[in-house]
Amino acid sequence: MTVNLIHLRRSGVSVVVDVSAGVPVIVHWGQELESVDEELLLAQVYPPKQPGSVDVTAPIAVVPQHGDGCFARPGLAGHRPGGRHFAPRFSQPKVAASAHSLNVTSTDSAAELRLCCEIALCESGVLSIKATVTNNGTNRYLLDTLSITLPLPKSAEELVTMTGSWSREFSMHRQSFSHGAWTAENRTGRTSHEHPPIVWAVQHDANEWTGEVWGAHLAWSGNHVLLAEVLVDGRKYLQLGELQMAGEICLEPGGSYSTPEVVATYSSCGLTPASWNFHRNVRLNSPKQKSFSLRKVLLNTWEAVYFDHDEAKLKQLADLAASVGVERFVLDDGWFGGRRNDKSSLGDWWVSAEIYPNGLESLISHVQNLGMDFGIWVEPEMVNEDSDLFRAHSDWALVSPDYEPVRSRNQLVLNLAHEPAYQYVFTKLDSLLSDNRITFIKWDMNRPHVQATLHGGAAGTHEQTLAVYKLIDQLRAAHPNIEIESCASGGGRIDHEILRRTDRVWTSDCIDPYRRQKIQRGASMFIPNEVMGSHIGAEKAHTTGRVHSLDFRGLSAVFGHMGLELDLGKCSDGELKSISQIVAWHKKHRELLHSGDVVRFDCESASQIIHGVYAVDRSEAIISVAQLAKEHEADVRVLRLPGLDVDRKYRVSTFAANFAASHDVGELTGKQLEVDGLNLPSMRPESGTIYHLLCV
């Protein structure tokens, strides 16, 4: 068999690709190789003929082809009118390669299709793969799917997946991966609360710091499908792609469709180091990538005032916010049109003359005179039927005229793929930003797509997602200094593609610190701390009704992009002082918290969450130990800290519960911290301790 192997290599990882056939085949994705053993690698992906099967066992290509005799789920499926050419077969590859990337373009002359696969081992350490199919024919090609497939070794014996729901995002599950298939499908029009687009395959004994792990994420903000399968011959693979509704992608002659980017990571040292590649990918592609910018502590008004907008009260809230160290004041829902509740005015993006008869200038000036900048909430993709916009343009909703629409939160989706609707929204937002000194947008999306239908009758989620990207890009081009938060009823739209355009995500509508500890740990599997909005809420949590101390609320907020979301006017003088101390502590340490390597530590019981941040040069570290529930016999008693500089000495101290002072523990070497560890104190439920390590 004639092969052509290309070796892409970065520190700690190698990707070897066979480009001899029509579609590239990854023959190795794992530990860094000094040299390529062709015979050994090929034996793993080209197994011998199976009894009772076809003559040649086809490899699992980046885009598996049923027409080649591969029995994995086809990576490309579609057909010409009449069902013709439903199983294409590509050949005659043309290869362009560099040290860290390659492009393979091949054709199927019978089906009149061209397929281009782009594979890159990026500076961040992630493996990036995309594919594009082009219709070279003279009639339409109806595309059902184009997905990316990553072969896995047999040593990937378990899956780590995520599920969730509103206010319970990023719940982690671990299961055997020895036979059959696991799949997750999302049809909500966003990444969803239920099935975020991330999946891990791991060795059975892998944990945060040991064992081989392979993770894959679909960088796409719309519908998606994830698959992990074990074929009958034992070969394994992951497959990720956009989930397309029936008839959603129709390629006219000359038309093309490109997959979302699949971003994948590998580590031989566990889940924590593998996550660093994901985090670097976000950081390198962030709007803030050109210069490190401190994330401003903000106050969001939602859980302070809800829809009860009163300018005098908001100014008092701003006064208190500034007094505790807040740097940004964000005006949430209720400032526009006739918006006094959630039943009206979405789409009427002008300042309410009823609440703000002189516009927002007075409030903005007050906020800025206090040394803070001003942000605002919008939901540009939605429309209330009770709105001036809908009364004038009911045909702009992303619904089918043949059916009564399924409503959610008293609103419909606005069809941004319809050019007049798009231009209307852009003009209103552009005017809002041009006419007011606004530096931050909280961009919300509070309902899923249901029967999202374009004017031509086809499914519209794909086009809507691209229109959202275009709208954000156009606004950023017109207002380059604006910062944007991606919110979708909390964590319903979080992915690496939206984070190319936005500066942070709202991790969850749930600010209950007990739940937030778990939510943020799960989210840290593929996004870094500094993009996770994490707020101190009221003593009694809005979403759960549970009551927590201010110390525990602070502990759960200080590691992310910190904010406040409570009525400071109801706080005592002592509480305001404590909040100011927590904010001051966060500001003192946020450069480390928002630029270092996020670390997680294994807990055998569900009653603890232990995580932290190491400075990239390992000169400093901050570790949080949160006791969620009553102490369990399986709780960590001695915390061992791998990954530090074993030859350096660290002064270890703990912070008091109110972040006001620290207490010395002593000086230990990195080796002692890794081997002997730290003895943890006994802690009551819903409390915690922060350790600070500094090289001496």
Q: Which residues are catalytic?
A: 444, 509
What is the C-alpha separation between 141 and 79, in angstroms, rounded?
6
Question: How would you classify residue 446: left for phi > 0, otherwise alpha for psi between -120 and 50, otherwise beta?
Answer: alpha
What is the C-alpha separation between 58 and 281, in angstroms, rounded?
33
Provide the β-strand partners of residue 214: 201, 266
403-410 long-range contacts (CB < 8 A, ≥24 apart) are: 403/451, 405/450, 405/451, 406/450, 406/451, 408/446, 408/447, 408/448, 408/450, 409/342, 409/446, 409/447, 410/342, 410/343, 410/344, 410/384, 410/385, 410/386
What is the C-alpha separation between 284 and 278, in angstroms, rounded?
10
Question: How would you classify residue 73: left for phi > 0, otherwise alpha for psi between -120 and 50, otherwise beta?
Answer: beta
Phi, psi at 655, each rounded to 5°: -95, 140
How many angstroms from the chain centroid is the CA of residue 396?
A: 29
Contacts of 110 (CB under 8 A, 6+ apart): 85, 88, 89
Residue type, 432: L
Half-sphere exposure of 290 (CA within 13 A, CB side): 3
Place of tokens 């290599």: 9
* Separation in Å, CA 464 to CA 201, 267, 419: 32, 36, 11
* Separation in Å, CA 195 to CA 155, 179, 229, 418: 25, 22, 17, 29
DSSP helix, strand, coil percent of the chain (3-state; round to 5): 20, 35, 45
What is the C-alpha separation between 546 and 626, in angstroms, rounded?
17
How many angstroms from the chain centroid is the CA of residue 542?
A: 24
Question: 296: closest CA among 566, 578, 561?
Answer: 561
What is the C-alpha separation between 516 and 499, in angstroms, rounded?
21
What is the C-alpha separation between 362 and 356, in angstroms, rounded?
9
What is the C-alpha separation between 547 and 553, in angstroms, rounded?
10
Q: Which two tokens stand for residue 75?
A: 């990576």
What is the C-alpha separation between 609 and 528, in angstroms, rounded?
17
Question: 109: closest CA among 124, 88, 129?
Answer: 88
Antiparallel, parallel or unpaired: β 256-258 and 127-135: antiparallel
